[in-house]
Chain A
Amino acid sequence: MSNLIPSFDFHRVVISPWTTELDSFGWVVLMGFLVATACGLVGNYLILRRMALVGDAISHSVLPGLAVGFLVANSRGSTPMFVGALVAGVFTTILIEIIHKKSRVKQDAAIGISFTSLFAIGVILISLYASKVDLDQECVLYGEIGNIWIDTPFQVGSIILGPTAVVRMACVTLLTLGLILLFYKELLVSSFDPGLAYSLGINATAVHYALMCLLSVVVVSAFESVGAILVIAMLILPGATASLLSQRLPIVLCLSAVHAALSSVLGIHLALWLNCSIAGAMVVTGAALFGLAWIFSPSQGLIRHWTRSRLEGPVPAAGETDEV
Chain B
Amino acid sequence: MHRVYASRLTLHALRLIALVIFGLTLPAHAAKIGDLAETNIIEQAIRFFTFQDPAVRYALAGSMLLGITCGLLGSFIVVRKMALVGDALSHAVLPGVAIGFLWNMTKDPIAIFIGATLAGLSGAALVTLIKQTTKLKEDSALGLVLASFFAVGICLLTMIQRLPTGNKSGIEKFLFGQAAAISAADVRLMAVITALVIVAIFVFYKEFLITSFDSTFAQVVRFPAQLIHYALMLLLAFAVVIALQAVGVVLVSAMLITPAAAAYLLTDRMSRMLWLSALFGLLAGAIGSFFSFLGPNLPTGPFMVLGATTVFLLAFLFGPRHGVVMRWWRQRSRARRTGRENTLKAIYHVLEARDFKGEGVSLRELSERRRETIEEAKTQVAELRRHNLVTLHEEGNLAFLTPAGWQLACAIVRNHRLWELYLTNAAHIAADHVHEDAEKIEHVLGEEVVRQLEKRLEYATTDPHGRPIPSLADMRQGGAQTGPPEELLGYGKRV
Give the chain B neighbours of A302 by CB distance below 8 A. Answer: 133
Inter-chain contact A120/B305, CB cutoff 8 Å: yes
Inter-chain contact B158/A108, CB cutoff 8 Å: no
Inter-chain contact A113/B257, CB cutoff 8 Å: yes
Chain A residues 224 to 279 lying within 8 A of chain B, measured CB to CB, are 229-230, 232-233, 235-237, 239-240, 243-244, 271, 274-277, 279
Inter-chain contact A290/B148, CB cutoff 8 Å: yes
Chain A CB count within 10 A is highest, among B82, B140, B258, B295, for: B140
Inter-chain contact A232/B146, CB cutoff 8 Å: yes
Give the chain B neighbours of A294 by CB distance below 8 A. Answer: 130, 133-134
Name which residue of chain A comes closest to B77, CB basis.
Answer: A109
List the 7 closest A-B pairs by CB distance, nearest first. Answer: A233-B147, A116-B254, A283-B151, A287-B148, A120-B302, A280-B154, A319-B131
Give the chain A neighbours of B140 by CB distance below 8 A. Answer: 47, 50, 52, 236, 239-240
Name which residue of chain B comes closest to A113, CB basis.
Answer: B258
Count, chain A residues at interface, CB 8 A: 72
Indicate with 1 or 0, residue by residue over B131-175, a CB within 8 angstroms of chain A CB atoms: 111111111111110111011101111111011110000000001
Inter-chain contact B102/A53, CB cutoff 8 Å: no
Give the chain A neighbours of B135 by CB distance below 8 A. Answer: 243-244, 300, 318-319
Knowing that A127-B299, A141-B154 are A-B contacts, what are 4 other residue pairs whose CB atoms are under 8 Å apart, sorted by A's residue number? A4-B159, A105-B265, A127-B297, A233-B150
Inter-chain contact A236/B261, CB cutoff 8 Å: no
With an 8 A cutoff between CB atoms, is A104 at the interface? yes
- CA separation between A275 and B158, bound complex, in Å? 8
Inter-chain contact A116/B251, CB cutoff 8 Å: yes
Give the chain A neighbours of B136 by CB distance below 8 A. Answer: 47, 240, 243-244, 319
Indicate with 1 or 0, residue by residue over B410-429, a CB within 8 angstroms of chain A CB atoms: 00000000000000000000
With an 8 A cutoff between CB atoms, is A324 at the interface? yes
With an 8 A cutoff between CB atoms, is A20 at the interface? no
Inter-chain contact A237/B147, CB cutoff 8 Å: yes
Which of the candidate stretches B83-91, B193-201, B455-463 sits at the interface with the other chain?
A: B83-91
- CA separation between A102 and B312, bound complex, in Å? 13
Inter-chain contact B83/A109, CB cutoff 8 Å: yes
Inter-chain contact A324/B175, CB cutoff 8 Å: no
Indicate with 1 or 0, residue by residue over A300-311, a CB within 8 angstroms of chain B CB atoms: 101001000000
With an 8 A cutoff between CB atoms, is A206 at the interface? no
| Contact residues on B (Cβ < 8 Å of other chain), bracket | 35 or more
Main secondary structure of the interface of A (DSSP, over half): helix
Chain A residues 30 to 61 lying within 8 A of chain B, measured CB to CB, are 47, 50-53, 55-56, 60
Inter-chain contact A300/B139, CB cutoff 8 Å: no
Inter-chain contact A125/B322, CB cutoff 8 Å: no
Inter-chain contact A137/B251, CB cutoff 8 Å: no
Name which residue of chain B comes closest to A267, CB basis.
Answer: B151
Inter-chain contact A105/B264, CB cutoff 8 Å: yes
Give the chain A neighbours of B142 by CB distance below 8 A. Answer: 52-53
With an 8 A cutoff between CB atoms, is A130 at the interface? yes
B82, B132, B303, B312: the one contacting A108 at CB < 8 Å is B82
Give the chain B neighbours of A130 by CB distance below 8 A. Answer: 297
Question: How many whole Å from A107's CB to the nearest CB in chain B?
Answer: 9
With an 8 A cutoff between CB atoms, is A220 at the interface? no
- CA separation between A28 and B88, bound complex, in Å? 29
A125, A233, A284, A317: the one contacting B29 at CB < 8 Å is A125
Give the chain B neighbours of A123 by CB distance below 8 A. Answer: 176, 299, 301-302
Inter-chain contact A128/B155, CB cutoff 8 Å: no
With an 8 A cutoff between CB atoms, is B316 at the interface? yes
B137, B158, B298: the one contacting A142 at CB < 8 Å is B158
- CA separation between A196 and B214, bound complex, in Å? 35
